[in-house]
Amino acid sequence: MRVGAEKIRIFFVLCILGCGFALALVQPVAGQCDPVTTAFLVTEPPLFQDDLEYESLAPAIDRSVDYLSRLSEGKTFALCGGEYSAVRLIESLLAFKRIIAEKPSPQELTAILTRDFVLCQAQGRASDQRMFLTGYYEPLFKASLTQTAVYRYPLYRPPSDLVSIPGTQGGERQTGRMDNGSLVPYFTRGEIETGRLLAGQELVYLADPVEAFILHVQGSGRIQLADGSLHRVQFAAKNGREYRSIGRLLVENGVMGKEEATMPGIVRYLTEHPEEREKILRHNESFVFFRWGDDGAAGPLGCLGEPLTPGRSVALDQKCFPPGSLAFLATRKPIADAAGEIIGWEPLHRFVVNQDCGSAIIGPGRLDLFWGGGRYAEAAAGNMKHPGVLYFLVKKK
């Protein structure tokens, strides 16, 4: 979700997909979202101890404020058993920002928030009231602006015949192409790749189809050209086809267990079985189109139209939880060695902001954490499949 005249257009397009490795995992069945009951009040809050420096939280809060300030004054959101205006959410974020500027101890912060804020826990999954957490990151690959013997696998711009129209009776937007005055499904991944249907729409070329797959899953990334320059590629649209998990396919085919169906596990299998790669990748008919991003931005744009902050920005179902809202996340994170290999796990507890969405992030029990870029981010995002607890905070009147 992302927003201005141009940003509003991007907002509707990006909500079709969003970002996140959650797309490649074996997914639990998503619950239906009732905004009134997606979070319940808590009387015994956790210890609000943040495992990151507050310096990274302040700019993330500012980006949520920037988004919320562009909404109409009458816009309201359901949370914690009440209705809150965008103005109220802004007040909550700014009040919290003033509090952390004083660098209170965890005990002092917990006392202040318990006294001055309404606290509620996200409903999570029906089985245990915890959320299923995954992670995503911003990959970096070498690429070429022209096709060569090495760089042969393109990322495409949105085609001119791709259309997106409002759904009926407030339903989801429908994406496809027009055929004799009727909206029909757009071409599948296999049809696009085998029929060269988008010749001339190539944005950039990669050396490996698995790298293109990773960018389709993550939704954005950076590419390095031969001259050493770095450029950001950003999600622009998708073909409207339903996402079909290749991780689930590999599990159902018996070639790997559920615990192995992580990003590294899937990439490893595709690399080791090139004869199966094309068939596996085309099992997923969904296809992503890209555009050039802002190379000078602090991060890739989330679907609020704001740069994502590593470790602070999360993707949630925006129909369940207010976009831009402040929350506290408790789960676990990996410990990695110098080579980026995971050697253990430890608790993760930090404040986060709801700034992104994704086609696999559906219902009150799903969350995707943005890790940023680099070796650790790749390892953490690729291996994160854990339960967690999420608490929302809204300032009392």
Q: Same domain for 73 and 123?
A: yes
Domain assignment present for 231: yes
* 1-5, 90-94, 179-183, 312-316, range with the lowest pLDDT: 1-5
Domain assignment present for 373: no
Q: Same domain for 153 and 28?
A: no
Q: Tell me what pLDDT residue 36 has.
A: 62
| CATH number of the domain enclosing 54 | 2.40.40
- Asked if the model's pLDDT at residue 322 lies above 70, the reply is yes
Q: Tell me what pLDDT residue 38 has.
A: 84
Q: Same domain for 307 and 355?
A: yes
Exposed, middle or buried: residue 323 (CB in 10 Å: 0-12, 13-18, 19+)?
buried
Considering the chain, what is the average pLDDT of its residues? Answer: 88
Domain assignment present for 146: yes
Cβ distance 230 to 373 under 8 Å? no
Measured in whole angstroms, how far is the alpha carbon of residue 58 from the centre of its chain?
Answer: 20
Q: Write out pLDDT tens, residues 13-31.
A: 333 333 443 333 333 334 4
Reported as a pLDDT band with limits 50, 70 and 90, residue 35 is: low
Domain assignment present for 371: no
Q: Could you give the number of structural domains in the chain?
A: 2
Q: Residue 38: which domain range?
A: 5-129+300-330+348-365+387-395
Q: Same domain for 201 and 86?
A: no
Domain assignment present for 315: yes
Q: Same domain for 52 and 113?
A: yes
Q: Same domain for 288 and 150?
A: yes
Q: Same domain for 55 and 33?
A: yes
Please give the share of the chain, as a percent, with pLDDT higher than 70.
90
Q: Which residue has the higher pLDDT, 27 or 150?
A: 150
Q: Same domain for 167 and 222?
A: yes
Domain assignment present for 374: no
Q: Write out pLDDT tens, residues 187-217.
A: 999 999 998 899 999 999 999 999 999 999 8
In this prediction, residues 373-389 reach a mean pLDDT of: 92
Q: Write out pLDDT tens, residues 271-317.
A: 999 999 999 999 999 999 999 999 988 889 999 999 999 999 999 99
Please give the share of the chain, as a percent, with pLDDT higher than 90.
70
Q: How many CB atoms lie within 10 A of CB 359?
A: 18
Domain assignment present for 223: yes
Q: Tell me what pLDDT residue 21 has.
A: 37
Q: Write out pLDDT tens, residues 115-147.
A: 999 999 998 887 778 999 999 999 999 999 999
Q: Which residue has the higher pLDDT, 261 or 325?
A: 325
DSSP state of 128: T
Tokens found for residue 129: 């009231």
Domain assignment present for 339: no
In this prediction, residues 228-251 reach a mean pLDDT of: 92
Q: Same domain for 148 and 123?
A: no
Q: Write out pLDDT tens, residues 352-376.
A: 999 999 877 888 999 999 999 999 9
State the pTM of this model.
0.85
Q: Tell me what pLDDT residue 358 has.
A: 82
Q: Same domain for 228 and 310?
A: no
Task: From residue 186, give the alpha-carbon distance in Å to each of 92, 139, 200.
Answer: 43, 27, 18
Q: Same domain for 228 and 205?
A: yes
| CATH number of the domain enclosing 176 | 2.40.240.50
Q: Same domain for 288 and 170?
A: yes
